[in-house]
Structure 1
Amino acid sequence: MRKKIKRWIIVLLFIYIAIGAVLYFVQEKLLFKPEALPASHVFAFKQPFEEVNLAVNAQKNINIIKFTVADSVRKGLVLYFHGNRSNVTHYADRANDFTNNGYEVWMADYPGFGKSTGTISEQALYADAMMLYQMARAQFSKDSIILYGRSLGSGIAAQLASVRDCKQLVLETPYYSMDRLMSNYTLIYPISWISDYHLPTHTYLKEVIAQVTVFHGTNDGLVPYRHAKQLKAGHPNIHLVTIEKGEHNNLNDFPAYKQTLQTILQ
């Protein structure tokens, strides 16, 4: 009987380790859903824009779309860090929320997304965000730059705001940390041990001096609303805008979102 129990323990342990190894090696495919575009691709957005390719080195290019405003006098700039899907084309329509209020919007694709190339990693995401910020500071004062992070981009925007000044940090459907978010799906696995992507938003927020606004819907099925409440609990200065019945991808359809964003952009 003891031998059978021991045998089963060994089998279960082997299965546990094997599944953990699989999770480790496929983590990027689970976390990122990019759609690459050829360098020859011609963007056709519905509003004025400028395409910039920042050649970091022979292997790495950061593709940036600058959505411009009609008025030559701009109120400021929004650095928009998008979610984990597709590429800039999937998020371009959101630029209207800002350009209609006099703010230029810069969206950069992550490595492997759109026309951006190079190797993706947590540190690469932070480094690319820093380069984008440095480009922005050549044209805009720090008190006219808004850092906006949506979903995956919320941790990136929070990290940047923790080390550089800005007018405001805005997070849409943010996670407490990527470890805590992924643990919802990996259950019995110590995700912080096997993951290369931690993005501890809650830690970065401790160092943010600027005003922080968080938008989150109560019906978010991807990043549960409790993540926003946990961020708020740890950082009382956060302005949490709760969107009742809001989901992960439709917050900009709600009056509470539109009204609060209008106030931020005044």
Structure 2
Amino acid sequence: MDNSKKLAGVAGVASMLWLAMTAAVAANQRRLVFNPTVKREVERPVSSGHRTRPIVLRSKDGTRLSGWLMTPAALGPHPAVVYFGGRSEEVSWVARDAGKLFPGMAVLAVNYRGYGDSHGDPAEHHMVEDGRMLYDWLGQHHHVDPRRIAVVGRSLGSGVAVQVALERDARAIVLITPYDSLLAIAKRRFRALPIEYVLRHRFESVKYAAALMAPTYVLRAASDDIVPHSHTDQLVARLGRLHADETVPDSDHMNIPYLDGTQTRIANFLSQQFLRPPA
């Protein structure tokens, strides 16, 4: 066999491998983007500073969504927070920690489709649509001041929070380990593949950042091997109203929401924003 035929054979094998890898990423992207956790992180979630009750809500298409509503013991109406979790996050821990994270605020933490006791399958368009529904539902609750609702998103959930805040009049936005877009991160990870043609769940926060008018507080992990700081830099540079961009000492991508330093920063920021008179 001459060299040209050998090269053609190698090229053919390489092409087949490339096509196979691209097909595998396309077929398994839901598993790559989402990692639903069904088991509760906290078996009996109760906030020390709130009345805590489990809730079941229905999405617009009837899918059952399960989570927790926490309301302060004092008479309202209160400022409020909608929380959106990360890629592998079951949100019962929010109910446990809400007393420190969200003092004096009503809190709604609901698991995404396929997470915890929520039904269905996760997808970007479902998460965003469900997020808007949760925001609206909370704003109609008699314990809540609809003019004072913030959104808080961690990691994957930062992309949900950004898109919800884009179409709702959020008083403030907290983004924990946020990214510019999952598409950008995927292109970095799968450099040789045409990822832009196969990835359906893109969470392109950077496209919406400039239009966000609520004060936005960014918290980074000191060590983050999931969302490189360069991807957070791209988002921060485009934010319409950046309040602060801070790094939490001794934090990584997994432990950052549980740390006292993180929780105190979030509580202080939101408390200050909720004291501002409505626009």
State if a TM-score over 0.5 links the two structures. Answer: yes
Q: Give 3-state SS (helix, strand or coil) of 1:175's partner.
A: coil
In structure 2, the CA distance between the partners of 1:14 and 1:90, relative to structure 1 (3 Å rule), is: farther
Kindly indicate whether residue 210 of structure 2 is the aligned counterpart of residue 206 of structure 1. yes
Kindly indicate whether residue 27 of structure 2 is the aligned counterpart of residue 46 of structure 1. no
Q: Give 3-state SS (helix, strand or coil) of 2:211's partner.
A: coil
The CA distance in 1 between the partners of 2:62 and 2:240, in whole Å, is 43
Q: Give 3-state SS (helix, strand or coil) of 1:34's partner.
A: coil
Aligned residue identity for 2:228: P
Q: Give 3-state SS (helix, strand or coil) of 1:230's partner.
A: helix
The CA distance in 1 between the partners of 2:10 and 2:152, in whole Å, is 50
> 8 Å contact 2:82–2:150 — kept in the other structure?
yes
Aligned to 2:63: 60
TM-score (norm 2): 0.85
What is the aligned length?
A: 262
Aligned residue identity for 1:249: M
> 8 Å contact 2:59–2:133 — kept in the other structure?
no
Kindly indicate whether residue 101 of structure 2 is the aligned counterpart of residue 95 of structure 1. no
In structure 2, the CA distance between the partners of 1:259 and 1:118, relative to structure 1 (3 Å rule), is: closer
Aligned to 1:157: 161
The CA distance in 2 between the partners of 1:56 and 1:81, in whole Å, is 15
Aligned to 2:255: 250
Deviation by residue 1:113-172 (Cα, 9 ceiling, x = unmatched): 111112322111111001101102213344310100011100000001111111101100
- The Cα shift of 1:78 comes to 0.6
The CA distance in 1 between the partners of 2:83 and 2:160, in whole Å, is 10
- The Cα shift of 1:179 comes to 0.7
Deviation by residue 1:166-211 (Cα, 9 ceiling, x = unmatched): 1101100011101112223222223221111100011121221111
Aligned to 2:194: 190
Aligned to 2:10: 8
Q: Which runs of 5+ in 1 are unaligned?
A: none
> 8 Å contact 1:74–1:103 — kept in the other structure?
no
Structure 2 counterpart of 1:138, from 132, 137, 140: 140
> 8 Å contact 2:45–2:93 — kept in the other structure?
no
The CA distance in 2 between the partners of 1:66 and 1:110, in whole Å, is 15
Q: Give 3-state SS (helix, strand or coil) of 2:19's partner.
A: helix
Kindly indicate whether residue 268 of structure 2 is the aligned counterpart of residue 262 of structure 1. yes
Aligned to 2:181: 177
The CA distance in 1 between the partners of 2:261 and 2:114, in whole Å, is 35
Aligned residue identity for 2:90: N
Q: Which runs of 5+ in 2 are unaligned?
A: 273-279
In structure 2, the CA distance between the partners of 1:134 and 1:219, relative to structure 1 (3 Å rule), is: same
TM-score (norm 1): 0.89
Identity of aligned residues (%): 26
Q: Comparing 16-25 with 234-243, which one deviates more in the overlay?
A: 234-243
The CA distance in 2 between the partners of 1:241 and 1:136, in whole Å, is 29
In structure 2, the CA distance between the partners of 1:93 and 1:248, relative to structure 1 (3 Å rule), is: farther
Q: Give 3-state SS (helix, strand or coil) of 1:155's partner.
A: helix
